[in-house]
Amino acid sequence: MNLPGIRKEASMNENFSDAAAQPGIHPSTNGGESEPEKNSDSLEVESGECHTRLSQFGLNQTGVEQTGDRGPEIGDLEDEHEKINKQPTPSSSSLLLSTLLSLTAVLVLLTFLRFLLPSTLEFSRYSWHRGQLRAEYDVAGEQLKTVSNDNLALLSQTVARRVCPSVVHVTLDRMDSENDSPEGSDTGAPNFFPFRRSMVGQGSGVLVDTRGYILTNYHVINDEGSRLSTKGRIQVALPDERVCKAELIGFDSVRDLAVLKIEADGLFPIVWGDSEQMEVGAPVWAVGSPFGLSGSITFGILSGKHRLDLTGTSYDEQRIPRKDRHISARYSDLMQSDVAVNPGNSGGPLVNSRGELVGINTAIIGEAYRGVSFSIPSSIAKVVFEQILESGRMSRGWLGVELVRVTEWKREQAEQLALAIGSEPEEIEFDLSKEKAREPVRGAVVRRIVSEDSPAAMAGLQLGDHIVQFNEKPVKGVEDLIFEISKSLIGSKIKLLINRDGETLSMEVVIGERPAN
């Protein structure tokens, strides 16, 4: 054996194994048999090829990565570092400008926090409150469709949640807002508002439209003794604690109704009900601000309907000048209930068991609640509301006559006859009482014609004419006839059936418009 040749072959095999361990270099095999021996020339050539392949992978013969090509990269970094060091240092003016910009940004942020953040937080609080009211309002509306009157407690609670978001508190400032002084109210009523102003009147109102229209009593915002306009003096406090200025759209002093408007969103208008469908004995609720206590609700029943005439009652006899009364003893078709209504409830809603508006609370007998209260039926209030929205005022039909009861007219005639013949009026009255037992005392008698150009005069009505029918409908009494005339359309033709000196006559009259005075 040639020992040097064996060592050389072993060395070659070791180098070849090292090279084969690198990526892409694999020892060839031949069925598991070893390759034949190679001479030194072939080993040198093969070694050169391995060196070339290693160089392609960036390695030297020992498998170490070559780093000689990084020299230029390090030089480039040093050049960049020198360029950065040679950049000019910021001047004092540029530093001052940068400082001023920073201070300006801080001031803008502080201004936002001072002025915009409180209003933003307040708006968020209002939105949350309105959202809560909306949820209660909608849920209550669904519950009222299925709740039974047997569960009165649940019914009252549900009605309250449904109606209270629609009820507002109305106040009339004593002075215009520009000249108003921040003095407290001298009315003795509690002040629960975020402002402190001297108030002339206060009451309640009810939202009847999403556009911000509010229905209330005219006497709540009527400052009759003042020459100041109501513009800018009417304040409305909403259930979500917002306070808005209200504009007077129009009013009907005879019906004691007024329409206001506010600019606000997120409102909860009440649903109109039909007062004509209400039966005596039905449960009703009144919501309002008695004595300034907003959001108060009371419960009772409907005691009576179509109270057309309060003359002769305690309301007519109480010591209140007629010009200061909230409602007229006539021109009224009122609903009576035993719901507790006190000063401050005026203008608030009377609702049924579905939370629907069936009346506007307007009057009581006496200075305080005595178990009898009156409200304007929704059937009348809705007509007034719609006509005021359409024309800005309430027009009312008019004949131009003064009417009296049949018995009163005969009594007056008996007294005049007694004076003419020198008899005692009591004797004539005795004979009249027998006549009353035989004849019905229905209809109304013309006592006076107010002017020659009135519709009644132009149609030929005379003193003493006994009107028994209005548009082929029997006339129950004076109040019934006045009510029918007042709700007739201006310019419409109506038919009257009258008794004159024992004869029955039919005539046609064109309805005029009732003068403002």
Do residues 258 and 251 touch, judged by C-beta distance below 8 A? yes
Q: Other C-beta atoms within 10 Å of 342: how many?
A: 20
Which residues lie closer than 8 Å to 8 by C-beta, 6 or more apart? Answer: 40
237 vs 292, 354, 392, 417, 481, CA distance in Å? Answer: 11, 25, 24, 61, 40
Residues 6+ apart with CB under 8 A from 174: 180, 197, 198, 199, 200, 233
Return the sign of the alpha-carbon dihedral for residues 325, 330, 334, 337: positive
Which of 166, 219, 252, 480 is catalytic? The answer is 219
Annotated active-site residue in 166, 346, 353, 375 = 346
Tokens 């090509």 map to which residue?
69
186 classed as catalytic: no
Residues β-bridged to residue 235 = 171, 245
Residue with structure tokens 């006339």?
Answer: 475
Which residue matches tokens 């759209």? 249
Q: Between 117-144 and 152-163, two packed helices, what is the crossing angle to 10 degrees?
A: 140
Task: Tell me how far apart the alpha carbons of residues 335 and 307 are, in angstroms, rounded to a whole number.
Answer: 6
Q: Are 355 and 163 in contact (CB under 8 A)?
A: yes
Residue from 240, 256, 338, 465 carrying the catalytic annotation:
256
CB 428 within 8 A of CB 420: no
The rounded distance, in Å, linking the Cα atoms of 168 and 204 is 6
What does each C-alpha distance from 397 to 324, 455, 485, 509 come to in angstroms? 24, 10, 5, 11
Q: How far is CA 497 from CA 156, 468, 478, in A?
A: 48, 6, 15
Tokens of 89: 């240092």
- Tell me whether strands 444-449 and 401-404 are parallel, antiparallel or unpaired: antiparallel
At CA 423, angle to CA 417 and CA 426, rounded to 5? Answer: 90
The runs of H, that is alpha helices, within 1-65 are 3-20, 40-56
Active site residue 256: yes
CA nearest to 341, candidates 328, 327, 330? 327
- Classify strands 271-272 and 356-364 as parallel, antiparallel or unpaired: parallel
306 is known as an active-site residue: no
**Gap between the Cα atoms of 170 and 260, Å rounded:** 10
Element (H, E) at 273: none
d(CA 11, CA 5): 10
Q: Would you please indicate which residues are annotated as catalytic (active-site) residues?
A: 219, 256, 346
